[in-house]
Amino acid sequence: MKHFISIQSIPRESIDKLLDRAEQIARHRPTGRPLSEKILGLLFFEPSTRTRMSFESSMLRLGGQCLNLGGAESSVMKGETLADTIRVVDGYVDAIVLRHPRIGAAQLSTEFSSVPIINAGDGAGQHPSQTLIDLYTIRQSFPLDGLDVGLLGDLHYGRTTHSLAYALAKYGVTIHTISPKGLGFPLSVKRSLTRFGACVVEHESIKEALPHLDVLYVTRIQRERFPDPASHYDTLHSYRITPELLSNAQKHLIVLHPLPRIDEIDPGVDVLPHAKYFEQAKNGIPVRMALLLGVMK
Amino acid sequence: MNKIDVDQMENQKKTAFKNIQSGSKYQAGLVIRPIENGTVIDHITAGEALNVLRILGITGSTVERISVATNVISKEMGQKDLVKIENRELAQQEVDRIALIAPQASINIVRNCVVIEKSVVSNPEELVGVVKCPNPCCITNANEPVSTKFYVRQSVLICSYCDWHIEKNIHSYIL
Ligand SMILES: [Zn+2]
């Protein structure tokens, strides 16, 4: 694997291999410092402290070094094309982690880079390393094949849910979308999922979908994205995950959230066996370590 | 003029008249003369001839001599459009663009009154630099030094950068 850009373009076998490797890393830390000769460049055109820290920590744990290439805050790069930036900084580092507000930025970068590009989020497009973490966390509880997975929240703009849905399609999962009117999957995402042979069931109510689910993936609904701001309070409230609501779920249901959460999940849920979102956050390190090894070794 | 000649002329006129009446191939011949050198684009989807001209960058101020026939009666297509451009041969990218709006079109290149190349347009699997991505958030709309790239799936175009699907009014996005 040279670049890591979108989950659609990675075959299932390669995803499984990455997840297996992450599992090995989580069980026994890799011996020695496999990336001690390498420098990882972090190029963030929009802030995302968590994602950046997670990549930095993963690289340091593998014995490598990180170089912050600036991005949004760097005056040098203002007005310069992304293509030029990439052509210059690929000489400084052995791989580039890129976060950019425009869709397709990571793919474009691959056309100008001589070193591997890792997509850490491109606008409303993909966030494939988060998807690996999501798959990894689900796999800790059940094999991925044939599950019923609910995706809840803003599915229109939410990039994590698009990537995850594309990945799940490779495992014959039934995808249940649960979102307020107007915030469902964009048509293009639906079309692509159909093309990949995914089974998608749409719901507006969480109560209706919940009893069928093995996995519930919760994302934030941003107020400003809400098509009808006047009604947002009541609607948001009806999508909130609480211990009472979960009493109607299957016993083995797991609840995931890419974090940070605001009030989508009641803190009372944290102590229930369903809650796996803090596990999920921890899984970021072994999964990103496997990814860095995958592109640089 | 002897009688036989007159009879012959009468017969020819009658045939021509009959052909016009029945809308056969002869009609196109009457509308547009053959050309000596250039390109004949035939079997254009009826009503798309002007879009074909737009794609080829032909405006009122271009120098080429152009003949256009619209809604010509066609045996295979019911109605079709036809465009003849003198002294110009089309490049592959231009042919790809035409294929988008007139998938049945055929292209005849004429040199010295002889058709030297006759081809049917075919939709390529990929369109590079032919269509603009309608998604304002797409990286190809950010002044980067790249051409747009679309995959063609049946009649849908999919942006290879942002996954946007163009399904309708494809001609309005052609660069
Ligand atoms: Zn696009």
pLDDT in tens, B2-40: 554 545 555 554 544 444 444 444 444 445 678 889 999
Specify whether B45 is located in the same domain as B99: yes
CA–centroid distance, residue A104 to ligand 1 (Å): 7
Search chain B and give the residue with CA nearest A123. Answer: B137
Domain boundary among the residues B120, B136, B164 is at B120
Same domain, B114 and B46: yes
Determine the residue of chain A that is closest to B146 in CA distance.
A108
Q: How far is the CA of A246 from the centre of ligand 1 (A)?
A: 40
Chains A, B: CB contacts within 8 A come to 56
**B11 domain-assigned:** no
B145 to chain A: which residues are within 8 Å by CB?
Answer: 81, 83
Q: A176 an active-site residue?
A: no
User: Both B109 and B56 in a single domain?
Assistant: yes
pLDDT of residue B20: 42
CATH number of the domain that B75 lies in? 3.30.70.140
In a domain, B60, yes or no: yes
Q: How far apart (Å, rounded) are the C-alpha atoms in residues A165 and A98? A: 22
Interface test with A, best of B138, B139, B148, B150 (most A CBs within 10 A): B139
Q: Sign of dihedral through CA atoms A218, A223, A224, A226?
A: positive
Distance of CA B112 to the CA centre of its chain: 21
**Contact flag B142-A102 (C-beta cutoff 8 Å):** yes
Domain assignment present for B33: no
End-to-end, the C-alpha distance of chain B in Å comes to 59
Q: Decide if B161 contacts B130 (C-beta within 8 A).
A: no
Regarding whether B143 and B113 lie in a shared domain, the answer is no
* Residue A237 annotated to the active site: no
SS (H, E, C) B62-87: CCCCEEEEEEEEECCCEEEEEEEEEC
- Establish if B95 belongs to a structural domain: yes
Mean pLDDT of B141-165: 90
Write the DSSP assignment of A126-138 as a string of letters: --HHHHHHHHHHH
The Cβ of residue A114 has, within 10 Å, a number of other Cβ atoms equal to 8
For residue A126, give Cα distances in angstroms to A102, A104, A135: 10, 9, 15
Chain A residue with the nearest C-alpha to that of B161: A104
How far is it, in rounded angstroms, from Cα B175 to Cα B173? Answer: 6
| Identified catalytic residue from A27, A28, A78, A251 | A78
Interface residue B152 vs chain A (CB under 8 A): no
pTM: 0.80
Say if the Cβ atoms of A82 and B137 lie within 8 Å: no
Residue B155 domain flag: yes
Domain final position from B102, B120, B138 = B120
pLDDT at B10 (0 to 100): 55
Give chain B's domain count: 2
A50 catalytic per annotation: yes
* H/E stretch holding A23: helix A12-27
All residues of chain A having their beta carbon less than 8 Å from the beta carbon of residue B153 are 195
Distance from CA of B126 to the nearest CA of A (A): 16
What pLDDT was estimated at residue B8? Answer: 54
Check if the beta carbon of residue A184 is closer than 8 Å to that of residue A202: yes
Q: How far is A77 from chain B (nearest CA, A)?
A: 14
Which CATH number is B148's domain given?
2.30.30.20
The packing angle between helices A277-296 and A128-141, to 10°, is: 120
Q: Is the separation of the CB atoms in A172 and A238 below 8 Å?
A: no
**Element spanning B151, H or E:** strand B149-153
Q: Mean per-residue pLDDT for B126-135? A: 90
Query: B106 and B51 share a domain?
Result: yes
CA distance to partner chain A, nearest, from residue B153 (Å): 10
Do B44 and B115 reside in the same domain of the chain? yes
Per-residue pLDDT, B56: 82
| Cα–Cα dist A146/B138, whole Å | 34
DSSP 8-class letter at A97: E
**Tell me, what's the pLDDT at B7?**
57
Domains A7-125+284-296 and A141-275 share a fold: yes
Domain that holds residue B168: 126-173
Bridge partners (DSSP) of residue B38 are: B86, B110
Asked if A52 contacts A67 with a C-beta cutoff of 8 angstroms, the reply is: no
Of residues A3, A38, A100, A127, which has the active-site annotation?
A127
Preferred mutation among A8, A86, A108 to probe B, highest tally of B CBs within 10 A: A108
Check residue B145 and give its pLDDT: 95
Examine the residue annotation and report whether A38 is marked as an active-site residue of this protein: no
Residue B27: the pLDDT is 46
Coil, helix or strand at residue A117? strand
B82 and B44 Cβ atoms separated by less than 8 Å: yes
User: Which residue ranges make up each domain of chain A?
Assistant: 7-125+284-296, 141-275
Tens-digit pLDDT string for chain A (297 aa): 799 999 988 999 999 999 999 999 999 877 789 999 999 999 999 888 889 999 999 999 999 999 998 766 664 556 789 999 999 999 999 999 999 999 999 999 999 999 999 999 988 778 899 999 999 999 999 999 999 999 999 898 877 898 899 999 999 999 999 998 888 998 888 888 888 888 999 998 999 999 999 999 999 887 766 666 666 777 778 889 999 999 999 999 999 999 888 889 999 999 999 999 999 999 999 999 999 999 998
Backbone angles phi and psi of A20, in degrees to 5: -60, -45
Interval between CA B165 and ligand 1 midpoint (Å): 9
The verdict on residue B108 lying in a domain is yes
Interchain contact B162–A (C-beta under 8 A)? yes
Query: pLDDT by residue (tens digit) across B33-90?
Result: 788 899 999 999 898 898 888 878 787 777 888 889 999 998 888 899 999 999 888 8
Say which CATH architecture domain A7-125+284-296 belongs to.
3-Layer(aba) Sandwich (3.40)
Q: Shortest Cα distance from A112 to chain B (angstroms)?
A: 10
Q: How far is B131 from chain A (nearest CA, A)?
A: 16
The class (CATH top level) of A141-275 is: alpha beta
- ipTM passes above 0.90: no
Among A6, A80, A102, the strongest candidate for a mutation testing the B interface, having the largest count of B CBs within 10 A, is A102
DSSP class of residue A72 equals T
pLDDT value of position A226: 65
